[in-house]
Amino acid sequence: MKKKKLLMIVNPRSGKAKIKNDALKIIQIFSDAGFEVTVYPTQASGDATIKAQSIKEGKYDRIVVCGGDGTLNEVITGVMRSGIKCTLGYIPSGTLNEWSTGLKISKNFTKAAEDIINGREIYLDIGKFDDRYFSYTASFGAFTEASYSAPQGVKNVFGEAAYYFEGIKGIGNIKPIHLKFKCDGREIEDDFAFGAISNSMSVGGIVKFDNSVVKLNDGKFEVLLIKNPTNIIQLQSIVDGILRQDLSAKEFEFFHTHEITVTGGDKLPWTLDGEFCEGKDSVTLTNVPSAIRLVVPQSTKIK
């Protein structure tokens, strides 16, 4: 009987590099399940995209990403550009692992590997940012810099707390960003402090959404815009709303859409899945429905 083929794309530097200690255990789990395993360690930023994009249709039955959200983003970008149809698995070994947390993927490497063998396949939407892709969020403004500005050494020592420290620092430096948003026949123009176009349960580990308002495979983004506070009362209202997961205050705009165009901001820089993205004066973000097939634990519930 011909063995199924599995490619492991591993970022050996993600998180605290603990994946190195469990790599052989993970490979053994996949081998025992009947897979012929090929391991590809990434060498530099963007390497995972190049590797995934070069894969031909039918070469592998499964591609497993071992790394953080940034590595997953690179692999998904490569898969989307190549157009191959292949089931993905994810073993999160980064610092925050925001996307996987919402999907209940285990942070225990061997448990995550076992769930890739015994789990179930689901389809998930992917975001397109002009000619780039993002797995779960594109964001700008306050908080977003925390995901890429915290030094890797600090992330390794303090873990998720590093993002909170950077986010808190950002609150004191909020600058108004004048932007116009166009979608579904409506326009929103104002000064904003933060914005996220996402397909996730949270953004940056700081802004968290209630489970009832997020659907990961409905062909639509969740869009959160926070207007720039002009006084301490408005700032407190924003902080309270984030902490309570209550987006009903007038400082928030929250809605769902398939596509949105953002203009202004003087080449506003963005963050895609926690990675810096150079700014543009105008950008269109489009939801690509059910674009990827991912193995998740049997217990994962998505609407």
134-289 has the same fold as 4-119:
no
Return the pLDDT at 209. Answer: 79
Q: Determine the topology of domain 134-289 in CATH.
A: Tumour Suppressor Smad4 (2.60.200)
Per-residue pLDDT of the chain (303 residues; tens, 9 = 90+): 678 999 999 998 876 667 888 899 999 999 999 999 999 999 998 999 999 999 999 999 999 999 988 899 999 999 999 999 999 999 998 766 777 877 889 999 999 999 999 999 999 999 999 888 999 999 888 766 544 444 444 344 434 433 443 444 455 556 788 999 999 999 999 999 889 999 988 776 667 777 778 888 899 999 999 998 888 888 888 878 887 888 889 999 999 999 999 999 888 889 888 788 888 889 999 999 999 999 999 988 775
Q: Determine the topology of domain 4-119 in CATH.
A: Rossmann fold (3.40.50)
29: Cα separation from own chain's centroid: 26
The domains of the chain are located at 4-119, 134-289
Return the pLDDT at 157. Answer: 40
